[in-house]
């Protein structure tokens, strides 16, 4: 009788577990089209829901194993839909409206978050993503760590003029103006953006370089590599005539870390501030 009773209990437990799984529905299948959103999702403990990411989703390292759907500038609805997502997330700048409409027409939910490039904006984004994923209880710990990292930042005594150059080989070189992620992180780290007369990005020219005359040149590590390293950068017309070119002050950093404005914003600011000294 005892054996039969135990078997009945086991059968009942299995049935309840199966019922609970059925009621909960299939696990969410998430595709992220923003490295920053991907990083926040992981920091909130929801990494297991990710089935695909864009090429900017490089941190944490485990994301490298996931299927890539391209870069925000060339993502196609077909590539995303091939991963059969139930939800696609990104920022308002990371997905073209026409692609978003194609995804919605296919029955996939799309949620885009507006990103503000500031400390307060980053904390707000963490809270918004947490709310969307039912992880609001985890958000305070992420923000607490962000603030702790920022508290460790030691800015240079004198603010150097820093010029950020976006490079993809010598044929594609742009400089960052006001309002860009690069300008914001430079300011947070205690520097001054060398460009103040235009917003967004503009093509790099020798004349613009001489006019800006930066003390420091800042690039993504991948961008500097595309130019052949520091030696290649110094061969770009106008670079050698700047203060930075004459002194050889060139800083390279991981692109997503430097301009992602995600949970590692404090770490990025501290690293840049240290290199600006």
How much is the pLDDT for 8?
45
Token pair in block for residue 78:
């077909």
Tell me the pLDDT band of 73, cut-offs 50, 70 and 90: confident
Going along the chain, which residue ranges are E strands? 30-32, 50-53, 87-91, 109-113, 161-167, 173-176, 192-193, 201-203, 216-220, 250-253
How much is the pLDDT for 16?
43
Give residue limits of the domains in the chain.
30-151, 161-276
Mean pLDDT of the chain: 92
How much is the pLDDT for 25?
59
How much is the pLDDT for 74?
87
Are the C-beta atoms of 269 and 185 separated by less than 8 Å? Answer: yes
The three-point CA angle 155-158-160 to 5° equals 90
Q: What is the mean pLDDT of the segment spanning 64-73?
A: 91
User: At the top level of CATH, which class does the domain 161-276 belong to?
Assistant: alpha beta
Q: Do domains 30-151 and 161-276 have the same CATH topology?
A: yes
pLDDT in tens, 196-236: 999 999 999 999 898 999 999 999 999 999 999 999 999 99
Q: Any bridge partners for residue 199, and if so which?
A: 178
pLDDT in tens, 129-185: 999 999 999 999 999 999 999 999 999 999 999 999 999 998 999 999 999 999 999
d(CA 238, CA 99): 40
List the one residue out of 146, 224, 150 whose CA is nearest residue 189. 150
Q: What is the mean pLDDT of the segment spanning 247-260?
A: 98
In CATH, the number for domain 30-151 is 3.40.50.1980
Q: What is the dihedral of CA 43, 48, 52, 54, to 10 degrees?
A: 10
Q: Is the pLDDT of residue 20 over 60?
A: no
Tell me the pLDDT band of 11, cut-offs 50, 70 and 90: low
């Amino acid at each position: 009788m005892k054996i039969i009773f135990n078997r009945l209990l086991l059968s009942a437990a299995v049935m309840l577990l199966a019922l609970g799984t059925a009621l909960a529905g299939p696990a969410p299948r998430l595709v992220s089209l923003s490295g920053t959103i991907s990083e926040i999702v992981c920091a909130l403990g929801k990494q297991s829901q990710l089935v695909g990411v864009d090429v900017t989703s490089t941190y944490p390292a485990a994301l490298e194993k996931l299927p890539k759907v391209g870069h925000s500038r060339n993502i196609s609805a077909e590539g995303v839909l091939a991963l059969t997502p139930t939800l696609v997330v990104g920022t308002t700048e990371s997905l073209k409206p026409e692609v978003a409409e194609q995804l919605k027409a296919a029955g996939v939910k799309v949620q885009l978050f507006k990103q503000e490039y500031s400390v307060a904006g980053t904390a707000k984004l963490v809270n918004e993503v947490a709310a969307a994923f039912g992880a609001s209880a985890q958000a305070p710990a992420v923000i607490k760590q962000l603030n702790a990292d920022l508290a460790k930042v030691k800015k240079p005594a004198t603010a150097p003029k820093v010029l950020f150059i976006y490079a993809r080989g010598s044929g594609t070189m742009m400089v960052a103006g006001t309002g860009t992620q690069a300008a914001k992180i430079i300011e947070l780290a205690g520097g001054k953006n060398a460009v103040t007369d235009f917003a967004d990005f503009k093509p790099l020219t020798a004349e613009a370089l001489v006019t800006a005359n930066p003390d420091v040149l800042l690039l993504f590590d991948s961008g500097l590599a595309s130019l052949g390293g520091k030696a290649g950068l110094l061969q770009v017309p106008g670079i050698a005539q700047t203060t930075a070119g004459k002194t050889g002050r060139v800083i390279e950093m991981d692109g997503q870390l430097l301009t992602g404005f995600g949970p590692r914003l404090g770490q990025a600011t501290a690293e840049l501030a240290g290199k600006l000294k």
